[in-house]
Structure 1
Amino acid sequence: MSDFYRPKGLSSAVCYGDPKTAFRWLEEAFGFEPLMVILDENDNIAHSEMKYGDSVVMIGNEWSADHKSPKSLGGKNTQTVHVQLTRGEDIDAHCGRARKAGAEIMQEPSTQFYGDRTYRARDGEGHIWTFGVTVQEMTPAEWDKAAGGGMRTQTSL
């Protein structure tokens, strides 16, 4: 029973017009693992959760005027979700899996100035997901040099 209670941290909740399809697709495309599903009186998803590593993403329906899928908002997103893969994980293969499942690959895998290799994908309802894996550990000074200067720490803003 304690598996349903998370420690202090952050989770994201995304709304779908068809959360059952999204739930199955997220498992197939991105490798998210089912954690829990609560169905309403009509066997529709009222709330569900999936995990990836130690993180949780909540998958739900459009339940108010303020909780909509990008599909219902002309494709607009108010947030995107970043998912960090385990070091050594093959991000190119992960991208291939997502593409095979029907994800629109918005940005092919590429290595960023800060040492992560990333790609960006859009799911069938328009949510944008970014996946990254650290391929080279770098210091903030190395990031600054690679980015051409201008990097600041939180204390120097």
Structure 2
Amino acid sequence: MAVKHIPEGYHTVTPYLVCDGADKVIEFLKKAFDAREVSDTMKNHDGKIRHAELLIGNSHIMLTEACDKNPSMPTMLYLYVEDCDKVYKQAIAAGGKSIREPEDQFYGDRSGGVIDSSGNQWWIGTHVEDVAPEEMKKRMQEMAKEKTDVK
């Protein structure tokens, strides 16, 4: 039996976060996004996380603690959820700092963002409207015009 080049349950792209305080980020992900660990977390001799895997919805996320050879690299991720307002509040309650409260976007999502203790941005979205490409372009141009008109 041939081994699949992508393990069962994984996707072509799997985020791998390098975090200062990876243990705190894991706890945040569990509380904010109902993440669950899918394998035993491996730790270094000093007790810091060497490798952890979590599942958020249907997507895997891998994490490790930052070190001299592998420094912290905050990133930005976008999560689709059923109710972004609810999950945004849950993320704030879990210790996330608000970047922007949820609001409707020109591209058909309602989204808001939080930042975790390691500097990662988590944008939380719910798709609420299918927007045709022409309409999306028009809305984006209108939004850009409104922002330049404000002084």
**TM bracket, shorter-chain basis:** 0.7 to 0.9
Aligned to 2:7: 5
- Give the gaps of 5 or more residues in structure 2: 143-151
1:33 aligned to 2:36? yes
TM-score norm. by structure 1 comes to 0.76
Find the aligned partners of 1:19 and 1:8 in 2 and give their Cα distance. 22
Q: Is the 8 A contact 2:33 2:56 kept in 1?
A: no
Work out the CA distance in 2 between the residues paired with 1:102 and 1:22.
10
Give distance in 2, aligned partners of 1:110 and 1:33: 28
Answer yes or no: is the 8 Å Cα contact 2:11–2:59 preserved in 1: no
**How many residues in Structure 1 have an aligned counterpart in Structure 2?**
136
Aligned partners of 1:121, 1:147: CA distance in 2, in Å? 23
* Deviation for aligned residue 1:66: 4.1
TM-score by length of 2: 0.79
Uncovered stretches (5+) of structure 1, i.e. residues with no partner = 70-76, 150-157
Q: 1:91 aligns with which of 70, 84, 91?
A: 84
Residues 101 and 8 of structure 1: CA distance in aligned 2, closer, same or farther (over 3 Å): closer
Which has the higher mean CA deviation after the structures are superposed, 6-15 or 21-30? 6-15
Moved over 4 A (4+): none
Q: SS of 2:32's equivalent?
A: helix
Percent identity between matched residues is 23
